[in-house]
Amino acid sequence: MIAKKLAVSLLFGAFAVGAALPADAQVKVGVVTSSTGPIALVGIPQKNSVPLLPATVGGQTVQYITLDDGSDPTATVAAFKKLITEEKVDAIIGPSGSPNAMGVIQFAAESGVPMLAPVGTAAVVLPMTEQKKWVFKTTQNDDLIAEALLEHMAKAGIKSVGFIGTADPYGDNWQKVFGEGAAKRGIKLLASERFQRQDTSLTAQGLKILSASPDAVLIAAPGSSSVLPQTTLFDQGYRGKIYQTHGAALPDFLKLGGKKVEGTILAASLMLVLDQVPDSHPSKKIASDYVAAYEKQNGSKPATFGANVYDAGLLLERAIPVALKGGEPGSAAFRTALRDALEQVKELPATQGVYNLTAADHSGFDERGRELITVSGGKWTLVK
């Protein structure tokens, strides 16, 4: 009896949902984020940015299908397969995490669906392979950020540096990229320590760095986990220069760090210092509009991670009209044309910088995608 009632109401429910869908939805875009689980801090602003993505492009309605993978790479694979085989999407934005993205590249490539990954690690697009041709990355490559930091270090006369990074692909890649860059400039890497986001104490890592006494320390950790190494070093009496990566570029960094993160140097997109960059910067207006729209909708400022998804929308907005000449949405020809069109995107200003994609570079940022920022008086300040 109850089961029957349930079945009837489910049936009606299904009809209601079916009727609510826009009938003319033609371009289908899947979005996979980690809005729950350990990297939810990345996934939540990304999920919240989906309603801000362009709703119509080139006269076609775009339908977004959002799935959550719970930060679990296995669930990401399931979500991708569902989007590709059941929903027959034309492109996928996501996932949030680097390991999650590495695991799904082959599925996107096999079925020929362009994938726009808002993830940190450059490994999803470098080195370029036959499979990675289908992947585009909407974040600055680590080496671009590392280059800016290394330049600043060289100018400040820093000769030796210590490294603290998370024990995950983010920390791994930074150690690699930064280590290579530092060697080129003759900066010695004296100590290299790792930690987990949930660690309750970093005393040991701090002591190890202290006993090596480098001129500066680079901390490579995503989100608010970047704070604890720095406050620990401060408490232990380290007073050298501290550098952070774009992983620390979020409002909570200042809230958690307080006075102890004063003077930190980091390189990131212009989003933290929007009001300080000159109006001539191509990204200023787009980023300000995005931040305002996001704040209106969610009542809080977005972390950079959300803007990476928004940029994926802008890339699609540029590429879809071109791809429509190649085939009908929903067909393999359209998806291939979309991939080719994405690769041709030139001088596209977006929230993070300006995209210039090529067959070899699927991230496409230049120095307009990074700013040197310091913490001064408890506020993010542009380094002039």
Partner 1 sequence: MNLQIVMLLGQDGITNGAIYALLALSILLVFTVTRILLIPQGEFVAFAALTMAAMQGGTPVRLGWLLLALAAAALVMDSHAAWRRDGRIAVRRGPALGVAYAAGLTALTTLVPLAEAGVALQALVTMALIVPLGLALYRVFYQPIAAAHPLVLLIVSIAVHVVLVGVGLLMFGPEGARTEPFSDGGLRLGMVMLNSQTIWVVAVSLALILGLYLFFERSLYGKALRAAAVNRLGAELVGISPELAGKASFALAALIGSLSGILIAPITTIYYDSGFIISLKGFVGAIIGGLASYPVAALGALLIGQAESFSTFWASSYKEVIVFTLILPVLVWRSLSHHGAEDEE
Considering only CA atoms, which of 355, 142, 318, 78 is closest in space to residue 95?
Answer: 78
Residue 79 near residue 69 (C-beta atoms within 8 A): yes
In the chain the first and final C-alpha atoms are separated, in Å, by 73
Give least dist CB 252 to partner 1, A: 5
Taking CB under 8 A as the rule, does residue 302 contact partner 1?
no
Compare residues 252 and 361 and give the one whose CB is closer to partner 1: 252
Residue 226: CB minimum distance to partner 1, A? 10
Residue 127 is given by DSSP the state S
Q: Using a CB cutoff of 8 Å and minimum separation of 24, what contacts does 287-296 make?
A: 287/351, 287/352, 290/49, 290/52, 290/351, 293/52, 294/45, 294/48, 294/49, 294/52
Listed ranges 46-54, 178-186, 218-226, 367-375: which one lies at the site for partner 1 (CB under 8 A): 218-226
262 near partner 1, judged by CB under 8 A: no
Give residues 35-54 in contact with partner 1 (rule: CB under 8 A).
36, 38, 40-44
- Find the part of the chain contacting partner 1 (CB under 8 A) among 4-12, 32-40, 310-318, 335-343: 32-40
203 makes contact with partner 1 (CB under 8 A): yes
Cα–Cα distance for residue pair 102/121, rounded to 1 Å:
9
Q: Report d(CA 155, CA 82) in Å as an integer.
A: 51
Rounded to an integer, what is the distance from CA 82 to the centroid of its chain?
23
Shortest approach of partner 1 to residue 50 CB, angstroms? Answer: 17
Binding of partner 1 by 304 (CB under 8 A) = no
Q: Based on CB atoms, which residue is closest to partner 1, 227 or 338?
A: 227
- One of 67, 101, 228, 319 touching partner 1 (CB under 8 A): 228
Strands 371-376, 354-355: parallel, antiparallel or unpaired by DSSP? unpaired
Residue found by looking up tokens 């207006």 in the block: 285
Distance CA 96, CA 73 (A): 10
Of 142 and 193, nearer to partner 1 (C-beta) is 193
Length of the chain: 384
- Residues 161-200 binding partner 1 (CB under 8 A) are 167, 193-200
| Distance of alpha carbon 227 from alpha carbon 259, whole angstroms | 12
> Is residue 201 within the footprint of partner 1 (CB under 8 A)?
yes
Which listed residue (81, 185, 255, 346) binds partner 1 by CB under 8 A? 255
Q: Which of 8, 10, 14, 204 binds partner 1 (CB under 8 A)?
A: 204
Find the binding residues for partner 1 in span 49-88 (CB under 8 A). Answer: none
Binding site for partner 1 (CB under 8 A): 36, 38, 40-44, 167, 193-205, 207-208, 211, 223-225, 227-228, 235, 252, 255-256
